[in-house]
Amino acid sequence: MGRGPVQLRRIENKINRQVTFSKRRNGLLKKAHEISVLCDAEVALIVFSTKGKLYEYSSQDSSMDVILERYQRYSFEERAVLDPNIGDQANWGDEYGRLKIKLDALQKSQRQLLGEQLEPLTTRELQQLEQQLDSSLKHIRSRKNQLLFDSISELQKKEKSLKDQNGVLQKHLVETEKEKNNALSNIQHREQLNEKNTALPNTHDREQQNGATTSSPSPTPLTVLDSMPNLNIGSHQPREAGGEPESQPSPAQANSGKLPPWMLRTISNR
């Protein structure tokens, strides 16, 4: 025989009721956690006990305030679709109240993230806040590492580009030095050629002068003889004062007393 349906009714025994509440509450929280993890769903669970104690659960990546705000927004939009006049009938005071609640919740969450007003939080709420901070730190570190990697990659690219430019500049410098050395060697070679070309005419002129000095004729015997002093051989009569000069003797006669006869014949033949 199969088990028949269980009739649900309030447990009269207070102790049994509290035990059942604790067991069912833990099972409900466990199921909510499982569905949020397995299905990647945003789950919010609120339970109040008979004594008015609050038990709540929200998924890891979302807080209770965010889920409730989303619920209110979707609920309002759904009502607006069903009743188009609800937008005109909305009270601005209610809208202000909702915005004020939202602002307070955001400010409270911000202060708690900064480590303030943590006294009213329970252990579970503190754990959830810690998980949120760990998740935020992971995202922050991931983003920071990504920026550092991008910066390092950019610096490596710049370093490579600078090395390439340095290599090109060094190559250009070497080529410039070679061209400069070639130009200097050409200038020196031209100067040497000019010096040689200038020295050759001077040497030729000196050789011509030396040759001319060497080949210059010696003085003729006549010049030597003319430069010799007169011997004044023979008689010479001076002319009288106031008288006419005597007739000049011929060269042969004049030199008859000065030169030997063989020289006289040579002179007469000339």
Domains of the chain: 11-62 (3.40.1810.10)
More confident residue, 86 or 16: 16
pLDDT over 90 (residue 169): yes
- Determine the average pLDDT of the residues in 229-244: 46
Q: Give every CB contact of residue 112 below 8 A, 6+ residues apart in sequence.
A: 118, 121, 129
Per-residue model confidence (pLDDT) at position 212:
56
Q: Give every CB contact of residue 60 below 8 A, 6+ residues apart in sequence.
A: 36, 37, 128, 131, 135
- Pick from 122-126, 170-174, 239-243: least confident: 239-243
pLDDT over 70 (residue 163): yes
Per-residue model confidence (pLDDT) at position 219:
47
Per-residue model confidence (pLDDT) at position 266:
58
- Pick from 100-104, 140-144, 224-228: least confident: 224-228
- Pick from 51-55, 174-178, 221-225: least confident: 221-225
As a whole-number percent, the residues of the chain with pLDDT over 90 amount to 20
- Summarize pLDDT for 69-91 with one digit per residue, the tens: 888 877 766 665 555 555 555 55
- Determine the average pLDDT of the residues in 178-190: 89
pLDDT over 70 (residue 118): yes
pLDDT tier for residue 152 given thresholds of 50, 70 and 90: very high
As a whole-number percent, the residues of the chain with pLDDT over 70 amount to 64
- Summarize pLDDT for 255-267 with one digit per residue, the tens: 445 566 666 665 5
Strand ranges inside 27-115, DSSP E: 44-48, 54-58
Query: For the whole model, what pTM was predicted?
Result: 0.32
- Determine the average pLDDT of the residues in 86-98: 62
Per-residue model confidence (pLDDT) at position 69:
82
Q: What mean pLDDT value characterizes the chain?
A: 75
pLDDT tier for residue 159 given thresholds of 50, 70 and 90: very high
- Determine the average pLDDT of the residues in 123-136: 85
CB 250 within 8 A of CB 257: no
pLDDT over 90 (residue 156): yes
More confident residue, 168 or 98: 168
DSSP conformational letter for 117? S
Hey, how many other C-beta atoms are within 10 angstroms of the C-beta on 67? 16
Letter string b/e over residues 209-248, b meaning 16 or more CB atoms within 10 A of that residue's CB:
eeeeeeeeeeeeeeeeeeeeeeeeeeeeeeeeeeeeeeee
Q: 3-state DSSP call for residue 218?
A: coil
